[in-house]
Amino acid sequence: MVCETSVVAPRPVTVLQVLATADVGGTETSILRLVRRLDVDRFRCEVSFLHGDGRLAPAFEKAGIVLHDLRGPGGAIGAFLRVARLLRRQRYDVVHLYGFQASFIGRIAARLVRPRPVVVHGVRGFVITDVIAAESRKNRVAMALERLTSRLVDVYVTNSQGAANELVRGELPRGNVMVVHGGVDIPELVPRRVTTTGLIACVANFRPVKRHPDLVLAISRLRERGVLTRCVMVGDWPTIEEVRALVTRLQIRDHITFTGALSEEDVQRVLDGADVFALPSLMEGLPTSVIEAMAVGLPVVGSDVPGIREIVVDGVTGFLVPAGNATALAARLEQLLSDTSLRQAMGEAGRARAMTEFSLERMVARHEDLYAGLRRRRGAMGTAS
């Protein structure tokens, strides 16, 4: 008689992603891409929103992701209690937290659960708070709290080396900080043909750190120099009305189009019709919009700041200009708009770099390795807190 031995497949790693909302933004879009591509036989991923769902929630649901809407009364204390209840009920292996508030609440709530889930703080910007300057009082206070409670975090995962360096500079343990670059699905981003539309694309929600006014001033200067150009600004809130007012004051309403937030498909169409991509931010983590632009073959003009500098190779895939310098921004835009062969060469180099360094496959594989390794660590910890 032959005895057959059945092989039991290992239990999937359970992961909870904790976001503020499901509004359209770089972090939310990146997490949507990640959870849609994780190996469902090895990982079971759920997503929760501290302040309620948003426009991306249907896309998460379409992908079969279980969602948890954690909004409710009681401010931070109420949010803490709702997170704690969810963690006790579901017993996740890994809790991946994004944003300072979610991370602070989640790391403490996880401490109350037995066995304790492994806690990951996902840092998506250059600093851990929503401020422009790392030396600001708000960020200094946040970093002080981060240091005090860092032992409740098993690993910090940043999407850029610049952010990782900033955490280490803030005296967080270097051994607990790792970098996983963001990525885009490059095979789906078909290379665009080189155009001569004079169109500049900018994809970024309207926040002070993005410095849309610098791009508006640059467009105004290009118009004064007789350069035939238009700009499409994709994004929404909260400072869009201020930027609209500046456009009106400079009398260039015919040269700038505001689209509001767009779907991934509509953003692709904007990029397809553009000649150049611009992002004049004062600070970035690792802007997905720049990777998307390079992936379709657009040269990029961006600020010479960490995050953008990590993606764009100056003089090869585009140009880096001093942050806040509209004159330098206008000069580089004019250089690219006037030279089709330069745009093509930089666009091809950018696409090659995006495929090599910033593919979605690479990002997903790094996260799968991370989560599997953390589950093993959790098993080694047992029920220790």
Beta bridge partners of 199: 230
* Contacts (Cβ under 8 Å, ≥6 apart) of 262: 234, 270
Q: Residue 265 pLDDT > 50, yes or no? A: yes
Q: If you ran DSSP here, which 8-state letter would residue 187 be given? A: G
What confidence score (pLDDT) does residue 178 get?
Answer: 96
pLDDT at 368: 98
Residue 239 pLDDT greater than 50, yes or no: yes
- Listed in sequence order, the DSSP H helices in the chain are 26-37, 57-62, 75-90, 100-110, 137-149, 161-169, 212-224, 240-249, 264-272, 288-295, 308-311, 326-337, 340-357, 360-381
At position 282, the amino acid (one-letter code) is L
Q: pLDDT per residue over 36-57, tens digit each?
A: 999 999 999 999 999 988 889 9
Three-class SS of residue 193?
Answer: coil
Regarding pTM above 0.95, the answer is no
Reported as a pLDDT band with limits 50, 70 and 90, residue 125 is confident
Q: CB–CB of 185/33 below 8 Å?
A: yes
Across the chain, mean pLDDT equals 92
pLDDT at 7: 59
**Could you give the domains of the chain?**
13-183+360-381 (3.40.50.2000), 186-357 (3.40.50.2000)
Instruction: Indicate the helix (H) or strand (E) that contains 21.
Output: none
Name, in order, each residue with C-beta under 8 angstroms of 242's C-beta and a sequence gap of 6 or more: 206, 213
Neighbours of 12 (CB within 10 A): 17
Instruction: Find out whether 346 and 336 touch, Cβ atoms under 8 Å.
Output: yes
Task: Report long-range pairs for 59-68 (Cβ below 8 Å, ≥24 apart).
Answer: 59/32, 60/22, 60/32, 60/35, 63/32, 63/35, 63/36, 65/35, 65/36, 67/22, 68/16
Instruction: Annotate 51-115 with DSSP letters as a single string.
Output: T---TTHHHHHHTT-EEEE---SSHHHHHHHHHHHHHHHH--SEEEEESHHHHHHHHHHHTTSSS
